[in-house]
Amino acid sequence: MARSDLLISLVKAGSSGDLNSVRTTAEAIIAEERAKKHNVLAERLTSALHTSGSGHKPSQILGINSGRQKEFLLELVPEKRIEDLILSELNKIACEELIDEQRRSSILRSYSLEPRHRVLLSGPPGNGKTSLAEALAEALSLPFFIVRYEAMIGSYLGETASRLKRIFDYARTTPCVLFFDEFDAVGKERGDEHETGEIKRVVTSLLMQMDDLPSYTIVVAATNHGELLDRAVWRRFQVRLSLEAPTKAELAAYFKRFSESMLEQLGRTPGAIAKALGCISYAEAEEFCLDVRRRQVLSMGEKPLKKIVEERLKMWAARTSPTVREYTSNDRLPSTADPEAGT
């Protein structure tokens, strides 16, 4: 059975003659039925939606171009898996609970409960926020959409808010993971005296759209600067995870997986490699491993992997880096939100 709010919206739209809202609401009902595995009903509703007395398709009557909403979105095929990521125990539990709630949403709805579907990821850059969003989409077998700010943000008054609404209108029609990277670009504190009235209108529109999203549409937002977000924006997110820079132990676990995927010995233990590289992000750790793989492939077996690893470690030690030091304990790279972190 479709949610009561969707049925009420459908009746209201039909009574007022708002064909655009009729179609949007009907598509949301169809998406919800598909999410519940009610495929027969979903197909019958789809067939009814695409039939009209005049013989024209609804999209011709309403003038709807489905591609207009998607021009602000980049769709990626999710390949990252939760199992591939090195997560803290608390973050892993939070993700597992979210996935379980989405998969068993029908049980929750039978008790008038909805699964959580709004997730905020914060922390310094390069530590897996985008990868985690992608992994959630992969675990739930959902499309993964990334909001394209360069296409969405406009120069005219009200243009950005209007485009943001079109993105959310599209997301309501299908179960998906909608990902906002650099979320502070659209969710900044409205009390900032240096901001224009336009950003305040965008934030207000954003809050209204998020409140109106069905629970089968999962919104994941990522920010490197959580302190810049509007306080009302923080309140909208039911799950808030901090993805900090990896400790030495977490990096060692990452390099252990890399070592196990190689056919030769690396010449150093995962812990020794982590210590030699110092305080780096997961993105930098991944780049180091790819660097080693490139040199191994291009050597065509003429150079031992141990020697390649040593050469790469020397090259990385000579790089210009904001944190050129080795680990001395299980310390972490200072967060950009930490007022005591160095400039």
Predicted local distance difference test score (pLDDT) of residue 320:
52
Band (pLDDT 50/70/90 cuts) for residue 296 is very high
Closest by Cα among 250, 248, 306 to 275? 248
What backbone torsions phi and psi does residue 325 show, to the nearest 5 degrees?
A: -165, 160
CATH superfamily for domain 66-242: P-loop containing nucleotide triphosphate hydrolases (3.40.50.300)
Answer whether 160's CB lies under 8 Å from 154's CB. yes
Most confident of 31-35, 227-231, 295-299: 295-299
Band (pLDDT 50/70/90 cuts) for residue 327 is very low
Predicted local distance difference test score (pLDDT) of residue 52:
45
**Which residue ranges make up each domain of the chain?**
4-62, 66-242, 248-317
Contacts of 230 (CB under 8 A, 6+ apart): 187, 188, 189, 190, 191, 203
Bridge-partner residues for 180, per DSSP?
A: 221
Which H, E and C letters describe 34-63, residue by residue? Answer: HHCCCHHHHHHHHHHHCCCCCCCCHHHHHC
What the block records as the tokens of 137 is: 């989409």
Tell if the pTM clears 0.85, that is, is over it: no
What is the dihedral sign for C-alpha 115, 120, 121, 123? negative
Sequence letter at residue 289: C
Predicted local distance difference test score (pLDDT) of residue 298:
94
pLDDT, greater one: 149 or 138:
138
Residue 98 has pLDDT above 90, yes or no: yes
Residue 103 has pLDDT above 60, yes or no: yes
Answer whether 226's CB lies under 8 Å from 255's CB. no
